[in-house]
Amino acid sequence: MKTSNLLGAQTLFKREVRRFLKVNMQTIVTPALTAILYLLVFRYALGDRQVPGIGIDYFTFLVPGLAMMAMLQNAFANTSSSMIMGKVMGMQIYLLMAPLSAMEVVAAFLLAAVVRAVVVAVVFLLVLVPFVDLTIIHPWLIILYGVCGSLIMGGLGLLAGMWAKDFDNIAMVTNFIILPLTFLSGVFYSVSQLPELWQRVNYANPFFYLIDGFRYGFLGVGDTDPFASVGIVLLTVALVFASCWYLWRIGWRMKD
């Protein structure tokens, strides 16, 4: 019977964290610069204009959604880039041979993705907090949706990395699936502003519920009931984790 290797899993986790910290221009400086650009474009261009039907100024409405979008994109990028680099360099086969269970490998990758997402969100918010009247009404919702969203996207990044054969495949998934779904998830608008047909389309976007629940934790307003979506979010986390565990266990597309 195979015993657990917590030290090995911890080592893999530290490797993944150190890997993204070494490229701090992407993980720390870029989110700060992006926040400043959003500040210049939206805060000073729109002024105190309010979101129709919500009664909150547009920039305050925008900030939580932007932070969550950055978390989702960075969680996906962390695992997908690590996987594809390991494949291209021929290193992932050694990770498959390491005395680590599939559960330990997947947990290490996903926890590192959560750390990167949290770092990005903290940097992003610290830059913008002095310029926006941002409150925290439901902190547990912020933590729940932030962590669960990062786990889901980290898992999807792991699956994309296992599926992809090169950087072009990862770029295709990022540009044609991840970016459209995150940008069209209610980050820049309230769904109530859309025609009924497009509201239905938006409700079919799974990222919409993550953005809306995270925003609700800050502002106490949203387009859906985030408390009713908690079960679905937790179930999605479990399904993504189970998929990653099973596919890593059988070495799906990792031995080609």
pLDDT tens figures, 170-199? 999 999 999 999 888 989 888 888 888 888
Check pLDDT > 90 for residue 75.
yes
Which letter does DSSP use for residue 49 in this model? P
Lowest mean pLDDT among 34-38, 215-219, 242-246: 34-38
Confidence class for position 97, pLDDT limits 50, 70, 90:
confident
**pTM score, whole prediction:** 0.93
- 132: left (phi > 0), else alpha (psi -120 to 50), else beta? beta
**DSSP assignment of 178-219, as one string?**
IHHHHHTSSSSS-GGGS-HHHHHHHHT-HHHHHHHHHHHHHH
The two tokens of residue 233 are 């979010």
Task: Round to whole Å and give the CA distance between 77 and 71.
Answer: 10
In the chain, where are the structural domains located? 22-250
Confidence class for position 1, pLDDT limits 50, 70, 90:
very low
pLDDT for 101: 93
Check pLDDT > 80 for residue 45.
no
**DSSP assignment of 89-148, as one string?**
TT-HHHHHHSS--HHHHHHHHHHHHHHHHHHHHHHHHHHHGGGS----S-HHHHHHHHHH
Q: If you average pLDDT over residues 204-216, what whole number do you get?
A: 93
